[in-house]
Amino acid sequence: MSVIIQVKNLAKSYWRNKIEIPVLQDIDLEVEEGEFLTLMGPSGSGKTTLLNLIAGIDKPSSGDVLVNGTDIGKLGESLLAKWRSSNVGFVFQFYNLIPVLTAYENVELPLLLTKLSRSERKKHVEMALNIVGLGDRIHHYPKQLSGGQEQRVAIARAIVTDPVILVADEPTGDLDKTSADEILTLMERLNKEFKKTIVMVTHDPHAAERATRVVHLDKGDLVVEPS
């Protein structure tokens, strides 16, 4: 299998009141196509920062992030936005659905940036919602759905554009155990059945068990990378 994500000498610092706070130092990481990688570590270890850098929603202080051959650290804001829309699917801890839009409309959002016709968009949205098992909830608003259902809508929104990679930040962090299991099963299915490359941040060891590989971070360093 080919390497789809390459992280080289990556470092990231933030500035607070003129003081530099290093978050990640000298990170090297490769993720193969079709892999389900979990980033684990305690709070403040830099796992979400690393995920954000891989997903192109933050810029590295130094080093490179190559996804599917594109050095995303070198893309300008506008190109990066375009790149994200076609290459990355996002799943957040708090779902981040737009409350005034129905499940259908939320999933349709990323497709509005494509040249697909209305009927083509409809086909894609229905397919994505069917994959996550919410084909019968398309006209429901987020507030009419349970937490688990909301997260499934978020997953449908993440996969509707058929992205190269799927990134998930604590996707089960706000869910009860049953809903969390359902979400993890769904993600496992997306990885195995639909061959999606997934990078997931979690601090839950049970969630990490679903992954094909686990990477540990501590204080901004990659500490363990079991094969």
Partner 1 sequence: MKVFKLIFKNILRHKLRTILTIIGIAVAVIAFGILRTVYTAWNVGVDAAAADRLITRQAISFIFPLPYSYKEKIAALPGVSNLSFATWFGGVYKDKSQFFARMAVDDETFFEVYPEFSLSDDEKAAFQKERNSCVVGESIAKQYNFKIGDLVTLEGDIYPGTWEFVIRGIYKPKFENTDATQMLFHWTYLDERMKAESPGREGNVGWYIVKVEDPLQSAEISTKIDALFKNSLAETKTETERAFTQGFISSTGAIITAMNILSFVIVGIIMLVLGNTMIMSARERTREYAVFKTLGFSAFHLTGLILGESLLISALGGGLGIFLTYPIINGFAQVIPKGFFPVFQVEPITLILAISAALIIGVAAAIFPIQRALTTKIVDGFRFVG
Q: Which residues bind partner 1 (CB under 8 A)?
A: 52, 55, 57-58, 77-78, 81-86, 90, 92, 96, 98-101, 105, 108-110, 112-113, 157
Using DSSP's 3-state secondary structure scheme, residue 213 falls into strand
Cα–Cα distance list, 186 to 152, 179, 190 (Å): 8, 11, 6
Q: Which is nearer to partner 1, 101 or 127 (CB)?
A: 101
* Least Cβ distance, residue 1 to partner 1 (angstroms): 27
Q: Which is nearer to partner 1, 5 or 214 (CB)?
A: 5
Q: Which is nearer to partner 1, 35 or 108 (CB)?
A: 108
* Least Cβ distance, residue 130 to partner 1 (angstroms): 19
Tell me which H or E stretch contains 127: helix 118-131
* Least Cβ distance, residue 201 to partner 1 (angstroms): 13
Q: Which long-range contacts (CB under 8 A, 24 or more apart) does 18-22 make?
A: 22/220
Q: Which is nearer to partner 1, 82 or 123 (CB)?
A: 82
Using DSSP's 3-state secondary structure scheme, residue 39 falls into strand
CA distance 163 to 170: 19
Q: Which is nearer to partner 1, 112 or 223 (CB)?
A: 112
**Rg value, the chain, Cα:** 17
Q: What angle do CA 120, 193, 94 make, to 5 degrees?
A: 75
* Least Cβ distance, residue 57 to partner 1 (angstroms): 4
* Least Cβ distance, residue 113 to partner 1 (angstroms): 5
